[in-house]
Amino acid sequence: MATNGAKPSYLGFGLGLKPRHYKEILETSPNIDWFEVISENYMIPGGQPLRDFVGELARRADCWLLLDVNNVFVSGINHTFVPTAFIDAIPRERVVQFHLAGHSEGSECLIDTHDEPVCEEVWDLYGAALERFGPISTMIERDDKIPPLAELVAELDHARAVAARVLPAAKASAA
């Protein structure tokens, strides 16, 4: 799918990006419309820095990116990097969707389980992501411990409130 510079209303079909596939993706440009940015992929020994790799991959594969904000937060805590710096390294023009979720606390690290409500720190990071990328389609993701629908809708309403608070300020600062 050629990007032609305009973000589509329909994203097509995507994959979670995994290190074992990097070389093949860059060499063959497979029929993949977008990739989910999984920050853990960039913490491997000898791994290429995110700001170098993701931008190059998105350009060469001519694809869009899904940014899991909770995953960036969890990885930042676990690997002691600043989550907003990670977000700042993602190519602005390629991000077309945000995922928001919660996580669990393991004995030695946070685990990106998508089984808890979104925490305040992730809401704050979501606000920072909106400031950088502008209005982006956003979804609440819950993979386990599924609560009643009203609780999930309340989280969507929280996302709407963060966007309403942040986006007018982002538009004003860009002018």
pLDDT of 82-99, one tens digit each? 899 888 888 888 898 999
SS3 55: helix
Q: What percent of the chain has pLDDT over 70?
A: 76
What integer pLDDT is reported at residue 172 of this predicted model?
A: 44
Residue that the structure tokens 């899991």 belong to: 68
Residue 42 pLDDT > 60, yes or no?
no
> End-to-end alpha-carbon separation of the chain, Å?
32
Whether residue 127 contacts residue 159, with contact meaning beta carbons closer than 8 Å, is answered with no
Beta bridge partners of 65: 35, 95
Which CATH superfamily includes the segment(s) 14-174?
Divalent-metal-dependent TIM barrel enzymes (3.20.20.150)
SS3 100: strand
Structure-block tokens of residue 29: 């440009």
Per-residue three-class SS string for 81-98: CCHHHHHHHCCHHHEEEE
pLDDT class for 41, splitting at 50, 70, 90?
Answer: low
The overall average pLDDT reported for the chain is: 80
Rounded to 5 degrees, what are φ and ψ at 14? -130, 175
Q: What residue segments make up the domains of the chain, in order of their start?
A: 14-174
Q: Which of 7-16, 24-33, 131-140 has the highest mean pLDDT?
A: 131-140
What integer pLDDT is reported at residue 175 of this predicted model?
A: 45
SS3 110: strand
**Interval 54-63 mean pLDDT:** 76
**Interval 67-80 mean pLDDT:** 87
**Taking phi first (over 0 means left), then psi (-120 to 50 degrees means alpha), and beta for anything else, what does residue 40 get?**
alpha
Which has the higher per-residue pLDDT, 145 or 173?
145
Whether residue 78 contacts residue 67, with contact meaning beta carbons closer than 8 Å, is answered with no
pLDDT in tens, 111-132: 888 889 999 999 999 999 999 9
